[in-house]
Every structure is written in structure tokens, then in C-alpha cells.
Amino acid sequence: MKPNYKYLWNRTPDKQYKNLLLEILNEGEKDDAQSGVPTISRIAPVSMRFKFENGFPLITERNMNPKTSESLPITVWQQAIAEICAFINGARTLKEFEDYGCYWWKDFLTEKKCTKRGLEPGDNGPGSYGAAFHDFPMPDGETFNQFEFIIRQILENPILKTHFISPWIPYYTFRVTGHKQKVVVCPCHGWIFIRIMNNKLTLNMIQRSGDVPIGVPSNMCQYAALTMMIAQVTKTVPYEYVHSFMDAHIYENQIPAVKTILSREDRIFPIVEMDDSITNLFDFRKEHFVLKEYNPHPGIKGIPVTI
């Protein structure tokens, strides 16, 4: 089913993203980080709750839909949706991500980083999102597709409180002496709890580690889109997307950009429409989503990204 969006003039500006940034700045704690760039972290801040009736949670404080170019023929929000489509279909390599239309992994999956983990260049490894979601290892040597089974379980018994997915395969993510980690970038997000009440679907995504100025806006977009996808194939109403955190942080060198974001006026969320002919979760692609009524502030160039 489609989101029950209110008309543009009935939607209200959403301040939750800016409130999260303020909470981190005002109540967070400064600490060193593995990258060498200190962070200000807030452990388990207040969750953001987005009812679809008030629009699709694509931030307006900076432009997530900038003009494309020949070198990058797809814009930010589309790449975010492309990435989640890749993940649920088991993608774990740079080539697979780019085949789906997500191009921001090239700086993470370098030959040096992959070789350090004993992996082929461009491979994020068996402890990555796609591997956990689509090919979770079982004791008998077979693999388990979590999204296939959660769709089946929702269709068969929607009122259960066990609609839960994890991106974490502990054997591949621990990093201790004598044990080699088998993932380049450990999953930062993707703990998913789904609750259906009166045929209304709420998806709560819990994020282990959130770079709030850069990464979180894309995560908001992609998991809101996933909420819509799951609702459509289970014939439920996409009611609410909830975004929770274990560690939400701002890198110290991002503070000037954060202050610019906080100075900007609040604007109304856009809407995103989806091709209603798709009935198989694994068939969704970025091309099946259309952005409308988006009126963001200009982009902010040069927000540092920590690799």
C-alpha cells in the first residue's frame, strides 16, 4: 500500500534531525576515534520518529538531490536507495554496489584495506551487510536469507513481535589477537524491528554508529524507502519509520557545517512515490522511486567525510 501522505499545505516542518545535532553538541562527550579525528558522541540519544503522513524523511537542511554529472549520473538520495536494494540482495563488492547505482564505496573498499582483512580488492567480506542480510551462515553450511523469511513471516503471522533482522555476524566482526576480522567496514546500521498493528507497519532501524552530518541523512532515506517496500509486498500500510541509535556522533571537523545546518529555517518534507506494480521485495531498484515536492536549502560543500 502507499503512504497516506497529507497534502503539502497540511504537512508541518520536522525539526528532529536538527534537534539530534543539538543534543549531540550540548550533551555529547568528546572522545578519540580510531580514524584519528575526535568525535562528540551521544550514547542512545532520543529516537527520531517519522510518520509518513507528514512526508518522506529526506532532510531539507542541505540538498540531498543535487544536479548530477557525467562522472556521477545519480544523485545522493537515489544512491542511498540503490545501496539498500543492493544490501538486501546480498551485494558485498564494489562492483555489485556500482551495478545497483551506489558509488560511494570506492574510498572504503581499497586494495590496501581489503588486503589487510585477507579479502580480494573491492570485497567488503562475509561480515558485511549483504552477506548478513542475504547469506547469513548456518551451522549446516547452508545460508539463510533474513529478508525472505521476514516477508514470509509477516504474511503468515503479522501480529508477531519477532519480526527482527540483524546485520551482525559476530565471528566475522570481532577484532582480537589471533582472530582476523573478515569485513572491511563493520555494519553501522541495519538492526531492524518491524511491528504491525491494525495493518499499519512501523519499522524501527537501530544504528550502531551514526555519522549524523554525513551518513545519517542517507540512512534515514534508505530505511524509510525500505519501510515502504516491505509494506507494499506485505499489503500493509507504511505508517511510521523510527530511527534509533547506539552511538550518534559529530566529528570535530564537521562542527562548522553543523552550525550552518542549525542556522537554517525549517522546511517541509517532500514525498516519495514508488512503483506499485512491484510485488517481490528483491525486485525493487532505485528507478522505482520518484521524489516530489522537495524544496531543500543549498548543499554544503566540503563537509569532511572520515574514511
The mean pLDDT value for 37-56 works out to 96
Query: According to the model, what pLDDT value does residue 71 have?
Result: 62
Asked if residue 112 lies in contact with residue 123, where contact means CB atoms within 8 angstroms, the answer is no
CB atoms within 10 A of CB 188: 17
Q: Do 181 and 42 contact (CB within 8 A), yes or no?
A: no
Domain boundaries, the chain: 8-67+160-292
Closest C-alpha to 86, from 282, 223, 290, 291: 282
**CATH class held by domain 8-67+160-292:** alpha beta
Mean pLDDT over 253-269 rounds to 97
Bridge partners, residue 109, by sequence: none
Cα separations in angstroms, 118 against 92, 261, 263: 15, 40, 45
The whole-number pLDDT of residue 68 equals 72
Locate 247 and state its grid cell.
Answer: 552511538
CB neighbours (10 Å) of residue 199? 13
Who's near 251: CB < 8 A, 6+ residues apart? 33, 35, 37, 38, 39, 211, 213, 304, 306
- The pLDDT confidence band at residue 70, using thresholds 50, 70 and 90, is low
Q: Give the per-residue pLDDT at 245.
A: 98
Work out the average pLDDT over 274-290: 97
Residue predicted with more confidence, 44 or 35: 44
Buried b / exposed e over 61-90, threshold 16 CB at 10 Å, is: bbbbeeeeeeeeeebbbbbbbbbbbbbbbb
CB atoms within 10 A of CB 27: 11
Contact 257, 44 (CB under 8 A): no
Per-residue model confidence (pLDDT) at position 123: 98
As given in the structure block, the three cell numbers for residue 245 are 541509535
Mean per-residue pLDDT for 257-263? 97
Asked if residue 73 has pLDDT above 80, the reply is no
Residues 240, 248, 26, 224, Cα dihedral to 10°: -20
pLDDT in tens, 156-178: 999 999 999 999 999 999 999 99
Q: Is the pLDDT of residue 257 over 70?
A: yes
Q: What is the mean pLDDT of the segment spanning 121-132?
A: 98
Mean pLDDT computed over every residue of the chain: 96
Give the range among 26-40, 101-115, 138-152, 200-214 with minimum mean pLDDT.
Answer: 26-40
Residue 121 has pLDDT above 90, yes or no: yes
